[in-house]
Structure 1
Amino acid sequence: MEEIVLPRDRQERRDWLQDAGVHAVAAALNRAGAKDCARAFRELPAGKALPVFSRLEPPAQKAIVEDHEGEERKALIEGMAPDNRARLIAYLPEDRAQSLLESLGEEARALTRQLLAYPEQSAGRIMTPEFVRLRPDMSVADALEEVRAKAERAETIHFMPVVDEDMTLVGTVGLGQLVLAEGGQSVGDVATRDVPSVETKTDQEAVARLMKEADLMAVPVVGEDGRLVGIVTFDDAMEVLEFEQAEDIARAGATEPAAAPYLSVSLFGLVRSRITWLAVLMLAYALTVQVLDAFEAQLEETVALALFIPLLIGMGGNAGTQSVTTVVRALAVRDIGTADALAVAGKEVGAALVMGAALALAGYALLIAFFPPGIALTVALSGLAIIGFAALSGAVMPMVARVLSIDPAVFSSPVVNTVIDAVGLVIYFLIAKAVLGI
């Protein structure tokens, strides 16, 4: 995919903003700095401004909102879908968000506050309350008239909930079903029954996974009383999955996910996202130092042991990374659950022991030509034991995190590797003590 960059030359930029598609412009503004983003947005043709603004990420929207005042700003905010408007308001500082809310019209303010009342990263936060709702006793002809009357304000007309007078979900119907049905049929006869739904407090990732697995364009959202309050559409679900994937990748690299595109993150924002993890890992690596200090006498007696520390620790780290990456991903896509912990641990350790045995035999055959038999045997047995322990750690730690309601991605490669480093050294020196008698 070709990289989209905002032209620096003023006339060239204006020509490009005039001709480029809405998605291309939004992609360019998301990557631009705050000042460049606000300046370029001012140069957009009037008919393109709102569609572009609605597709921007909150940092770019914030830059534009701060560059507008009065009716201009109000028109931009009120023109957004309620769920996107709530996301922007939640991103802004509290005083700024409150001021912006108060400037909105009564309906837009009420819808936004309704969504903001739900917990962060819940179905209630990402749902839209603007949709076409149909009754089961309506004729198909009347339903089509209802669609025509309300389509402009609805998030989608390809998925419409069917509810009774108490707003209890009866089923769903798509526009295609209505078009193909006879005009005299009732909506209840055409509707799909027993459709999955979620509650407002359901985690947004669970909602997105459900939609992906069930191949749904949208999913109804009900309150605690079982009444329909909104729908989550496919585009919002994909954004959630993208965010969760970015979060897992960031934590796997011992950092926190950025809340904005890379170039929009300040230097201190980048530092904040990384320094905590570095400090924690620095303290954790102190365990490795303590282990080396405890076995200093053995190292002094057999200096050759020190030569193989990087090799063994590196092997253990790689084995741990393989296991933890596999297990975290399997948990994320629901291939496995915590009930499968023993099976997963057994499979990972089994695979690790097979690989470890093969590497240990190859290593022993190589080392015996250059080092005493005791050293070669110590290194070979240590490699086998460390790889097995590393695989066990990588399999079990994400499972434990899930049981404790912690994101399994927190137990990323650096965290697992730190544990493996410390324990791996203990294993190495204990085997050396047993084999070499030191």
Structure 2
Amino acid sequence: MEVQSVLEPEEFERTLAARDLTRAQELLARASTGDVVDELDRLQASESAVAFRLLPKDRALEVFELLDPASQGDLVRVLRTDETAAVFEPMDPDDRVTLLDELPAGIATRLMSGLSDDERLLTTTVLGYPKRSIGRQMSPEVAVVHGEQDVATALAHVRDVVDDSETIYTICVTDNTRRLLGVVSLRDLISAAPTTLVAELISPADTADATEPAEDAARRCAERRHLALPVVDSEERLVGILTVDDALRIIEEAESEDLARQGGAEPLRRHYLSTPIIRIVRSRVVWLLVLAIGASLTVQVLEVFEETIGKLVVLSVFIPLLIGTGGNTGNQAATTVTRALALGEVRPRDAMKVLGRELATGATLGLVMGSLGFAITSLIYDVGIGSVIGLTLLVMCALAATVGGLMPLLAKAVRADPAVFSNPFISTFVDATGLVVYFLIAKLILGI
């Protein structure tokens, strides 16, 4: 057995660019499957196809199933029809659907037409559920037994379907109409006497509705430590199953999307180095335009208080400090509440509790920051300026924390993504309102 070695991206890419295919094939043969997947995800589609064709058939299937869906789609676009059919047919139905979502309708139709009738029916069933629903992410290939069967019969059936089932560690128990009665673990079946009825071993099943958001079902599966979560339709009939590895993948993808949106960009759906520049631009430009429009509010506020600034120019010196502190306070609150939402620790109905906690937190932070600002500014300028800065920091921290804490709850209540109402949006909002507070306090205390 040949010892695996680390695939060095720079060496492999130089070898591939020089079209030394024999050497490239040797490097791939010695590399781990994970390294090969990472490298194909990095490459542009044309180069990825060259490398993919150097893999033996069995390994090519394994590598293809582990690629990012976007990378799979890129490969399918450049591979020959027979090559795409060879990797598409062995895929699980839910993985096929994920790939089809990345492809133009013409290519998707061609791939579907090449499937057997049974596989096409399974894939079409998954395709029929709404995007981002758990029905679209589940596997319809489920190991099913019946309550009236004895353990020996049930185990024999499980052995027959093991190759066609997504998992056999959690086995669903249904009646003759596929209505879910509960679940039984493989461990319980193996441990029981052969003549024991399956009905005696059934445990209540935690289920997911096929149309509910995939992220909600995935988090429930992970948080309750299920190996798998049965998926049912509106009449409690079993339609599929979500395994814990798929649940963790869904959660990881959702958190990656949230992280990107917190930075004011749409998430990239492929490896950064293989993403065309124009796609990166598109993922960022919309948010930059939205934030630029929002920032114009700050300009309008400065114009309104131009006379106030003119009477005491020193006020303008503190603007970056004040809006920066307010924005950071709001972002901290938004991040904390968004995380709590994701973990199920708070819900929109907890808005008043969150408001109270964030108002108290912001006021306490403002008291600390304001006291420090008052002391330093009074020493450098005078007590009047120090009072303005200290009081403004107190009000801005309280306001920013409250707004930052409530925005994710508002987003959740209207079925929007809480990450959209995150750092950039809150910073822009707090900048404008904070400046209004600042200049009003200055006019009140300094009489200008």
- Give the TM-score of the pair, scaled to structure 1: 0.96
* More moved, 51-60 vs 410-419: 51-60
Aligned to 1:406, the other structure's residue is in SS state coil
- Measure, in 1, the Cα distance between the counterparts of 2:389 and 2:152: 79
Q: Who is 2:298 aligned against?
A: 288
- Measure, in 2, the Cα distance between the counterparts of 1:391 and 1:76: 51
Q: Does 1:105 align with 2:126?
A: no
Q: Does 1:5 align with 2:9?
A: yes
Which residue among 198, 203, 228 is the counterpart of 2:208? 198
Aligned residues between the structures = 436
**CA contact under 8 A between 1:291 and 1:422: conserved in structure 2?**
yes
Q: CA deviation at 1:264?
A: 2.5
Which residue among 165, 174, 181 is the counterpart of 1:170? 181
Residues 185-224 of structure 1 aligned to structure 2 (within 5 Å) = 185-192=196-203, 194-224=204-234
Q: Does 1:384 align with 2:394?
A: yes
Q: Does 1:75 align with 2:86?
A: yes
Residues 6-21 of structure 1 aligned to structure 2 (within 5 Å) = 7-8=12-13, 9=15, 10-21=21-32
Which residue among 354, 357, 360 is the counterpart of 2:370? 360
Which residue among 337, 344, 355 is the counterpart of 1:345? 355
Residues 36-435 of structure 1 aligned to structure 2 (within 5 Å) = 36-192=47-203, 194-435=204-445
Aligned to 1:151, the other structure's residue is in SS state helix
- Measure, in 2, the Cα distance between the counterparts of 1:35 and 1:71: 17
Q: Runs (4+) of structure 1 moved beyond 6 Å?
A: none
Aligned to 2:293, the other structure's residue is in SS state helix
- Measure, in 2, the Cα distance between the counterparts of 1:63 and 1:368: 63
- Evaluate the alpha carbon distance shift between residue 5 and residue 234 of structure 1 in structure 2; reply closer, same or farther with a 3 A threshold: farther
Aligned to 1:162, the other structure's residue is in SS state strand
**CA contact under 8 A between 2:7 and 2:35: conserved in structure 1?**
no
- Evaluate the alpha carbon distance shift between residue 4 and residue 246 of structure 1 in structure 2; reply closer, same or farther with a 3 A threshold: farther
Residues 119-176 of structure 1, C-alpha deviations (whole Å, 9 max, x = no match): 0011110111112110111111111111111111111111110111111111112222
Aligned to 1:137, the other structure's residue is in SS state coil
- Measure, in 2, the Cα distance between the counterparts of 1:304 and 1:70: 71
Alignment-mate amino acid for residue 53 of structure 1: F
- Measure, in 2, the Cα distance between the counterparts of 1:4 and 1:199: 45
What RMSD in Å do the two structures reach over aligned CA positions? 1.5
Aligned to 1:152, the other structure's residue is in SS state helix
**CA contact under 8 A between 2:7 and 2:27: conserved in structure 1?**
no
Which residue among 35, 49, 57 is the counterpart of 1:24? 35
Alignment-mate amino acid for residue 103 of structure 1: G
- Evaluate the alpha carbon distance shift between residue 4 and residue 105 of structure 1 in structure 2; reply closer, same or farther with a 3 A threshold: farther
* More moved, 19-28 vs 257-266: 19-28
- Measure, in 2, the Cα distance between the counterparts of 1:15 and 1:160: 43
Q: CA deviation at 1:3?
A: 8.8
**CA contact under 8 A between 1:90 and 1:116: conserved in structure 2?**
no
Residues 318-357 of structure 1, C-alpha deviations (whole Å, 9 max, x = no match): 1111111111111111111112111111111211211211
**CA contact under 8 A between 2:45 and 2:78: conserved in structure 1?**
no
* More moved, 59-68 vs 395-404: 59-68
- Measure, in 2, the Cα distance between the counterparts of 1:308 and 1:138: 77
Q: CA deviation at 1:21?
A: 3.0
Aligned to 2:168, the other structure's residue is in SS state coil
**CA contact under 8 A between 2:48 and 2:75: conserved in structure 1?**
yes
**CA contact under 8 A between 1:4 and 1:27: conserved in structure 2?**
no
Structure 1 unpaired stretches of 5+: none
- Measure, in 1, the Cα distance between the counterparts of 2:365 and 2:392: 13
Residues 277-316 of structure 1, C-alpha deviations (whole Å, 9 max, x = no match): 1111111111111110000111110111111111111111
Q: CA deviation at 1:12?
A: 4.3
- Measure, in 1, the Cα distance between the counterparts of 2:403 and 2:231: 39
Q: CA deviation at 1:4?
A: 6.7
**CA contact under 8 A between 1:309 and 1:425: conserved in structure 2?**
yes
**CA contact under 8 A between 1:124 and 1:221: conserved in structure 2?**
yes
Aligned to 2:241, the other structure's residue is in SS state strand
Q: CA deviation at 1:387?
A: 1.0
- Measure, in 1, the Cα distance between the counterparts of 2:201 and 2:32: 38
Q: CA deviation at 1:373?
A: 1.6
Residues 177-205 of structure 1, C-alpha deviations (whole Å, 9 max, x = no match): 2111111111111222x211111101100
* More moved, 118-127 vs 97-106: 97-106
Q: CA deviation at 1:69?
A: 2.9
Alignment-mate amino acid for residue 430 of structure 2: I
**CA contact under 8 A between 2:88 and 2:96: conserved in structure 1?**
yes
Q: CA deviation at 1:260?
A: 1.5
